[in-house]
Amino acid sequence: MNATELFTRFAASVQIAHHIPGRIRLKLAPVTLDDAERSTLAQAKGFQRVLDDIPGIRGIRLNPLARSCTVDYDASVIPPSAWGDLLEGVNSPAAGVLMTIIVDRYAEATRAQP
């Protein structure tokens, strides 16, 4: 599975809980199977490491117990509409830019792992 497919699959299990320009809180969907749950949380942690290094991302806090993730970002670098469009599968220019940044950075990070 390539990085785009992996992120698209992961994004399907995420919903926006709260969003103001510069800060978004994402909620991971509940999963009934333990292995799938661990996999979703592992993917979230993997994407957290990726997003930490993206220009425009100021900080990320993952809360596995609450199944939530808060991303603080620079709204002048990442348009606020990019998050909703990306997670809803809307093919907008803003979502395309954010998806490209995430997928490229994720691919770099996974190639760098031993």
pLDDT digits (tens, 9 = 90+) for 7-50: 777 778 889 999 999 999 999 877 544 455 456 666 666 666 66
What pLDDT score does 35 carry? 52
Query: 112 lies in a domain?
Result: no
The overall pTM is greater than 0.95: no
Query: 41 lies in a domain?
Result: yes
Query: 114 lies in a domain?
Result: no
Question: What CATH number corresponds to the domain at position 46?
Answer: 3.30.70.100
Query: 113 lies in a domain?
Result: no
Number of structural domains, the chain? Answer: 1
Amino acid letter at 84?
G
Amino acid letter at 67?
R
Which is more confidently placed, 44 or 68?
Answer: 68
Other beta carbons within 10 angstroms of residue 51's beta carbon come to: 19
Query: 97 lies in a domain?
Result: yes
Range of the domain at 42: 3-107
What pLDDT score does 50 carry? 67
